[in-house]
């Protein structure tokens, strides 16, 4: 089909004088790769991701999230973000395969609704999209701070994900017959608490408790990525719209937009959403 070469992990492709490093990142598909544009000052013959100034990530990283796991799992996703692509500098720009940043940051805000940095970034992107502007490029600095799949290395964040799981459980509509034969009141609350206590992520975090590091173990991080996907399903099941938001979001956005206009802050740079 017009192909002249295979893209092998670690290969360097030359486009004129521009060097592009190939990295194999299996998860979305078995053969998924990223293409990292090298800094012109990087020594020839020893190109690494530490020299990347821009990366075309396809579905390995979609601004604010990641692509579906068609051929991989949470472990593959974790290894892509926290091992295979870990040497990439924060300044490296990200050009992903889809324009989903508004929806993805709406979800990220829902997962961590007390985080002002995520909320401000979301409303900035919402303002940007209302002007029909694209959110490309993002950056590794932005993704590492806002993207839930990147944040699954943070033990405190993982605990908040468990809290959000309990929140969804408490609001899940019960079958009508539970009024007659289902668990009631305090008994139901105890059942929910037991489910959270026995969740694989909670078990892993207890195993990590002796560590003084704020970073979670790989095992806990993988469980966290599984839970992020689970929470996305919970969100859709609850009737929440990740594409359009709700009335409260609209009111908050109008307040944000007016405040930004009054301050003269009318330009949004997605790659610089966080400092």
Ordered strands of the 18-24 beta sheet: 12-15, 18-24, 33-38, 52-58, 93-96, 138-139
Determine which helix (DSSP H) or strand (DSSP E) holds 92, and give its type and residue range.
none
pTM over 0.85: yes
> Which ranges of the chain would DSSP assign to H, the alpha helix?
74-79, 101-111, 116-130, 140-146, 155-171, 178-181, 185-197, 200-207, 218-237, 247-263
The whole-chain average pLDDT of the chain stands at: 91
Residues 80 and 65: beta-carbon distance below 8 Å:
no
Beta bridge partners of 154: 215
Q: What is the pLDDT of residues 200-216, one digit of tens each?
A: 999 999 998 877 778 89
Q: What is the pLDDT of residues 222-241, one digit of tens each?
A: 999 999 999 999 998 888 77
Determine which helix (DSSP H) or strand (DSSP E) holds 40, and give its type and residue range.
none
Dihedral angle computed from the Cα positions of residues 248, 249, 250 and 254, in that order, rounded to the nearest 10 degrees: 110
pLDDT-based confidence at 176, cuts 50/70/90? low
Q: Is the pLDDT of residue 11 over 70?
A: yes
pLDDT-based confidence at 174, cuts 50/70/90? low
To the nearest whole percent, how much of the chain has pLDDT over 70?
95
Nearest C-alpha neighbor of 39 from the set 54, 23, 24, 26? 54
Q: What is the pLDDT of residue 64?
A: 96
**Owner of token pair 């973000």:** 81
Residues 119 and 109: beta-carbon distance below 8 Å:
yes
Lowest mean pLDDT among 153-162, 168-177, 244-253: 168-177
- DSSP-assigned states of every residue in 207-248: HTTT---SBPPHHHHHHHHHHHHHHHHHHHHTT--TTT--HH
């Amino acid at each position: 089909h017009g192909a002249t070469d295979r893209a092998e992990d670690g290969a360097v492709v030359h486009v004129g004088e521009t060097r592009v490093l190939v990295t194999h990142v299996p998860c979305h598909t078995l053969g998924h790769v990223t293409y990292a544009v090298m800094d012109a000052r990087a020594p020839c013959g020893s190109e690494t991701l530490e020299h990347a100034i821009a990366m075309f990530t396809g579905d390995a990283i979609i601004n604010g999230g990641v692509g579906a796991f068609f051929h991989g799992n949470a472990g593959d996703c974790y290894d892509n973000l926290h091992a295979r692509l870990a040497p990439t500098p924060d300044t490296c720009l990200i050009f992903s395969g889809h324009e989903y940043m508004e929806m993805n940051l709406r979800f990220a805000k829902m997962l961590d609704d007390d985080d002002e940095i995520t909320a401000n970034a979301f409303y900035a992107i919402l303002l940007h999209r209302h002007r029909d502007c694209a959110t490309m490029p993002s950056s590794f600095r932005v993704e590492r701070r806002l993207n839930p799949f990147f944040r699954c290395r943070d033990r405190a964040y993982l605990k908040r994900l468990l809290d959000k799981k309990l929140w969804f459980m408490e609001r899940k509509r019960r079958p009508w017959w539970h009024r007659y034969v289902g668990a009631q009141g305090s008994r139901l609350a105890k059942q929910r608490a037991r489910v959270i206590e026995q969740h694989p992520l909670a078990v892993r975090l207890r195993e990590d408790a002796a560590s003084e590091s704020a970073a979670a173990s790989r095992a806990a991080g993988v469980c966290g990525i599984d839970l992020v996907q689970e929470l996305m399903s919970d969100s859709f099941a609850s009737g929440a719209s990740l594409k359009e938001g709700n009335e409260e979001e609209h009111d908050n956005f109008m307040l944000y937009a007016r405040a930004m206009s009054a301050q003269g802050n009318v330009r949004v740079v997605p790659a610089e959403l966080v400092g």
